[in-house]
Structure formats: C-alpha cells, structure tokens
C-alpha cells in the first residue's frame, strides 16, 4: 500500500538555526498537506500543495512539492522556541478517493 516516509525523526537545533524536514512517498501523490502538532496537542493544518514543483511560503516557513509529486519538504528559517513540535506531512494517491496517509513526523527541538 501507499507509504509516506519522513526524515529525520528528530532534529535538535539552536534557536536561530534553520531546519528542514523531508517527506517521500512510494507513489505519486495528488497533493500533500503539512501539519504541526505541539506536545499534547492535535495536528494543526499548515498548508496544502497541489501542483508539481510548487513552492509556498508562510513567513519563515517554506514548503516545496517535488516535480514528480512524490516528495516534499518544509524549511524553517531562523527557528524560534515557538517552532517546537512535530511536523507531519500527509498525502493522498492520484486518482480515486482521497485518503490522507501521514508520515511518521519530524520532532523539532529548539534550544534557546
């Protein structure tokens, strides 16, 4: 079945450093979503990417969707302690019903 893999599993950074998490699918995706989950909280939707090669920015966050629509990345510039949490990607297969499959997530720990 469809698999969505994320790396790294954990990332420790000093406040002010950059952070990137990568998401790879075994199959072509129709679109991909990114979520943030704070410790003890529920996933919060950040953004959706639909087009091949798409790049979207939200303040210090940059999201990319690969040309083949099988991979994606989230880059945070100059991390802050408020960025702490686990970042998940989720994607659905092209064609048919949209059934979101989540990656394992990347936990970001920011040291002040």
Asked if 39 is part of the footprint of another protein (rule: CB under 8 A), the reply reads: no
Applying CB under 8 A, among 24, 27, 28, 48 the residue interacting with another protein is: 48
Shortest Å distance, C-beta 104 to another protein: 5
Query: What gap in Å lies between CA 86 and CA 84, rounded to an integer?
Result: 7
Q: 95 or 112, CB closer to another protein? A: 95
91 binding another protein? (CB under 8 A):
no
Is residue 90 a contact point for another protein (CB under 8 A)? Answer: yes
According to DSSP, the β-strands at 55-58 and 61-65 are antiparallel
Pairing status of strand 4-7 against strand 55-58: unpaired
Burial label for 40, CB within 10 Å (0-12, 13-18, 19+), is exposed
User: Is there binding between residue 7 and another protein (CB under 8 A)?
Assistant: no
């Amino acid at each position: 079945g469809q698999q969505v893999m994320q790396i790294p599993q954990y990332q420790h950074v000093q406040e002010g450093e950059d952070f990137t998490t990568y998401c790879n699918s075994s199959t072509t995706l129709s679109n991909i979503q990114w979520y943030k989950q704070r410790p003890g909280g529920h996933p919060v939707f950040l953004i959706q990417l639909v087009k091949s090669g798409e790049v979207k920015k939200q303040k210090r966050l940059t999201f990319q969707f690969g040309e083949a629509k099988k991979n994606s990345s989230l880059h945070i510039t100059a991390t802050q302690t408020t960025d702490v949490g686990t970042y998940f990607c989720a994607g659905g297969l092209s064609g048919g019903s949209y059934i979101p499959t989540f990656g394992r997530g990347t936990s970001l720990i920011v040291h002040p």
